[in-house]
Chain A
Amino acid sequence: MKFPTTIALALPLALMVGVLQAGAAEDAGRIKVSKGVVQIERSGQRLPAPVGSIVRQGDLVITGADGSAGISFRDNSLLSVGPDSVLSIDRFVFDSTTHQGAFESSLKQGTLAVVSGKLAKQSPEAMKVRTPAAILGVRGTEFLVRTGSVKD
């Protein structure tokens, strides 16, 4: 009698995992500018990221010493990184009807230019950019961030 019980429990779990993965895999943005070496790291794999590449929640966008990249997100946020940068797209949720959701990213190293979009306009809490030392809260604006090395 134990066997059917296990199946019954496992099935709803499997369905839930499916739903969560579908949500996580939704496109967050798209690469619009790609110069020099630009890569996306997804599930431990690094792939080249030419113009048109999709950016998803959980991705790392990585540029080489000669690289720079510009990404447009679904809420019209624009993020661009300069050379030797690592940008992590930690969370992107956008409801196109209400403009509610969340956009959290981390600049692990390098330079970042941000033009905030519909999420930050709708709610001042929605958009955050993290660096190893600080959290930036965004209220509808344009700004720049640099994460230097310890030497700086």
Chain B
Amino acid sequence: MLLPGKGPTPGALTVTSGDETRTLDQPYAAARVSRPGSVSGQKTSETEVRQTFGPALEAQPGRPVSFYLYFLADTDEFTPESKQVVTQLFAEIARRPAPEIVAIGHTDRVGSVPYNDALSLRRAERVRDELVKLGIPRGRISVAGRGAREPEVRTAEKVAEARNRRVEISVR
């Protein structure tokens, strides 16, 4: 059963049993497989969903949230805006059960793929070290480098773009 999507693009779900496949791409579309090889379509409602799936839905963990930090040029100092972001970040961490933090570095499209991957990881590690200094236990923070794969602003290759040189902090 497919739920109404919360994202900008509705997703889809394929249900396959034996040789039969049905694609669900509408909110509350549902499929029933009563015996292997037989997939029948049906429509469900919010009420029915609540009845059957209430406890599973109530147990859904909070959705991950991302914060973005920028540094003053050539320093280890956060920009004044980023200091406010750090306050929000701490509030978010405090209200989550068993919080985990991932520092994810991003680059612009100047430089090769391996270079940007390494650079983005270094940026993430630097932010992790800053967060540890601010009192977050090191063991709660992991790091990742996405290189230039996930730009905030799309650009052509080899274009310098400050808004893409950032570190995302994902809290889950």
Interface residues of A (CB under 8 A from B): 30-33, 35, 51-52, 68-72, 76, 78, 80-83, 85, 96-99, 111-113, 115-116, 120, 131, 133-146
Contact A111 B53 (CB under 8 A): yes
The residues of B that contact A137 with a CB separation of less than 8 Å are 13-14, 16
The minimal Cβ–Cβ distance linking A84 to chain B, given in whole angstroms, is 10
Q: With A32-B97, A97-B117 known to touch, is A78 a contact of B63 (CB < 8 Å)?
A: yes
Contacts of B149 in A (CB 8 A): 97-99
Q: Tell me whether B97 and A51 are in contact (CB under 8 A).
A: yes
B158 at interface by CB-CB < 8 Å: no
B1 and A80 form a contact (CB under 8 A)? no
B62: chain A residues within 8 A (beta carbon): 32
Binding site for A on B (CB under 8 A): 1-7, 9-17, 24, 31, 33, 35-36, 39, 49, 52-64, 96-98, 100, 102, 104, 117, 142, 144-147, 149, 170, 172
Q: What is the minimal beta-carbon distance from B148 to any residue of chain A, in angstroms?
A: 11
Q: Which residues of B contact A146 (CB under 8 A)?
A: 1, 52-53
| Inter-chain contacts of B117 with A (CB < 8 A) | 97
Measured CB to CB, the nearest residue on chain A to B39 is A134
Can you offer 14 A-B residue contacts whose CB atoms are under 8 A? A52-B98, A76-B170, A80-B60, A97-B149, A98-B149, A111-B53, A134-B15, A134-B16, A135-B17, A139-B11, A140-B12, A141-B5, A141-B11, A144-B3
- Contact between A33 and B17, CB atoms less than 8 A apart: no
Contacts A78-B61, A144-B56; A138 near B97 (Cβ below 8 A): no
User: Are A111 and B61 also in contact (CB < 8 A) when A97-B146, A133-B17, A135-B16 are?
Assistant: no
Q: Give B136 Cβ to nearest chain A Cβ, in Å.
A: 16
Closest-by-CB residue of B relative to A113 is B56
Contacts of B142 in A (CB 8 A): 96
CB neighbours (8 Å) of B6 from chain A are 142
Q: Given the complex of chains A and B, what is the CA–CA distance between A28 and B55 in angstroms? A: 23
A75 → chain B, closest Cβ, in Å? Answer: 10
- Complex Cα gap A87–B161 (Å): 44
Give chain A's interface secondary structure class.
strand
In the complex, A98→B35 CA distance in Å?
Answer: 38
| Min C-beta distance of B95 to chain A, whole Å | 12
Closest to B117 in A: A97
Residues of A within 8 A of B145 (CB): 96-97
CB-based contact B11/A70 at 8 Å: no
Across the interface, which residues of B come within 8 angstroms of A71, CB to CB? Answer: 61
Q: In the bound complex, how far is the Cα of B3 from the Cα of A27, in angstroms?
A: 28
Q: Are B63 and A115 in contact (CB under 8 A)?
A: yes
| Closest residue of B by beta carbon distance from A36 | B55
Q: How far is the CA of A83 from the CA of B33 in the complex (A)?
A: 21
Q: How far is the CB of A94 from chain B (nearest CB, A)?
A: 10
